[in-house]
Amino acid sequence: MDYGSKEFPATDFAITTVNVPDRLDLRDMDDRNQVEEETRRRRFDLSVLLSWGPRLVVIGFLTLIALALWEGFDAWRNALSAGQIAQRLTTALGVPVRVDNSQFAFSPTPRLQLTNVSIDNKLILNDVSINLGTRHIAQVFEGKGWNWGEAVVGPSSLTLDQCRVLLNLLPKLDGALPHSLSSVRFDHLQIADQPWFSGNWEVGTTHTGNAGFTMATAVSHSEKGYIEIQINPSSDPSTVSFQIDGHNWVLPFGPKFPVDEIVANGTAASDRVELTDYSVGGQFGAVKGNFLATQDANLNWKLEGALQSESLDLAGLLHLLAPTTDASDAADDTTTMMQGTAAFQGRVAGRGRTLVESVDNSLFEAPVTVRSPILNGINLGYAASRLQKDFFHRWMRYPTRFDPATRMTKFTSDDGTTPLKDILGGKADDQFEAVWQYLVEVGKMNDFPH
């Protein structure tokens, strides 16, 4: 230790100098930063507004649209409920209508589907679809309301009386259905109690301006032809008028061959059917006439009418009645039993328990005039030499045993006699033997055509 100094012992303490004003400034700065940060958090940020403002506007707009659509859809859903639809139809048609269920379906096409529509407690339509196209949906969103397209009734089977109920309601459909509905169509309709109208029919009615639904059209197609019936309700609810137009169609009665053209007009009721005029034409010529069928108090049918033709080609008619698979024979008139042109005018009449039976039992009576007649007979000169006698007798006794499709009449009754009682005692075997002997003698002649 130097002179004049004094040594002090070591300690754990140190002496420092502190600038008190600087420390206060730091604390004040921290306080100001906290205030500024709080102010900044509370301050309105324009960038946030610019970022979220358009989104909020779009969300609000979409919300308003959703609310409007929901209110509109809820109102439409109530208006198109099964109960509301049934009530409107009942009021407009004047008969009780019940609808079990109504719902929207979007496959395969947008439509309102009605299930089990009961009309007047007389018929039920199991499935009715009212189509709504995409253009019509756009009109809904434009605020123009529902704009329907076509109502389609699914496959149905109805009786003639049930069809008549629908036809009588036809003029009232305009008040029962929306004016935007263009047509009502039965996709596949079968008439359950009428064999004349067998097969599938497509029946439709179209809205025609201010006239509404005034006419129904029924069409049935075959492989090569069609028949169309236009039906109009009359002032009498029990009667309808109709017009028939057909091409290459087989008539449900009479000869079973297709005719080229069918035209008819008439009226029909439950107890009366009248064809005021009809015409049937083909390669055989044309036949026209009229008839009236009525039901009496005993529910039996009586048919009366007229039938005429001025130029009936007998060869063409016989070819159709007995078709051949040989094309050369079909082109040769000599293969038919008779040639010539026939003219006739006569009456037809029939009775039966049903309308169909009265037609099936009808008979036609008229004088027939044949111009330029030629009768092509069978050459019997070869018969005895080409037939065996025992086969000939067996054939004559029972021809359908050998050919079920033959048109030859069975002349022999069960007791072995024929209707010709005054010839050979009416004995069938003796009469057939006489015919055989005649054929043998004809074969011995030298002047028959070879």
Per-run averaged pLDDT (10 residues), the chain, 450 residues: 52 51 63 69 59 70 67 59 85 89 79 88 89 53 54 89 85 74 86 86 84 86 92 82 93 84 92 93 90 93 94 83 51 64 92 91 89 76 80 85 79 85 88 89 66
Other C-beta atoms lying within 10 Å of the C-beta of residue 309: 23
* Nearest alpha-carbon partner for 201 in 157, 245, 236: 157
Phi/psi at 346 (nearest 5 deg)? -155, -170
Q: Say whether pTM exceeds 0.75.
A: no
Whether residue 320 contacts residue 284, with contact meaning beta carbons closer than 8 Å, is answered with yes
Query: What pLDDT was estimated at residue 329?
Result: 45
* Distance in angstroms (rounded) separating the CA atoms of residues 412 and 425: 13
In what helix (H) or strand (E) does residue 141 lie, and over which residues does it extend?
helix 134-141
SS3 288: strand
Query: What pLDDT was estimated at residue 78?
Result: 65
Q: Hey, what are 310's tokens?
A: 């001025």
Whether residue 102 contacts residue 116, with contact meaning beta carbons closer than 8 Å, is answered with no
Q: CA angle, 406 as apex, 315 and 359 as ends, to 5°?
A: 70
Q: Hey, what are 102's tokens?
A: 């109504």
Long-range pairs of 208-217 with CB within 8 A, sequence gap ≥ 24:
212/171, 212/173, 212/174, 213/170, 213/171, 213/173, 213/174, 213/177, 213/184, 214/170, 214/171, 215/170, 216/167, 216/170
DSSP conformation class of 409: -
* Distance in angstroms (rounded) separating the CA atoms of residues 132 and 150: 8
* Nearest alpha-carbon partner for 301 in 351, 227, 228, 360: 351
Cross-strand bridge partners of residue 189:
156, 201
| Three-state secondary structure readout of 241-286 | EEEEEEEEEECCCCCCCEEEEEEEEEEEECCEEEEEEEEEEECCEE
Listed in sequence order, the residues at least 6 apart from 389 whose beta carbon sits closer than 8 Å to its beta carbon are 436
* Distance in angstroms (rounded) separating the CA atoms of residues 100 and 85: 10
* Nearest alpha-carbon partner for 282 in 263, 304, 303: 263
What is the length of the chain? 450
For residue 108, say if its preceding peptide bond is cis, omega within 30 degrees of 0: yes
Query: What pLDDT was estimated at residue 141?
Result: 40
* Distance in angstroms (rounded) separating the CA atoms of residues 166 and 189: 13
Query: What pLDDT was estimated at residue 325?
Result: 44
Strands 368-375 and 338-352, by their bridges, are antiparallel
CA 110 to chain centre: 21
* Distance in angstroms (rounded) separating the CA atoms of residues 448 and 450: 6
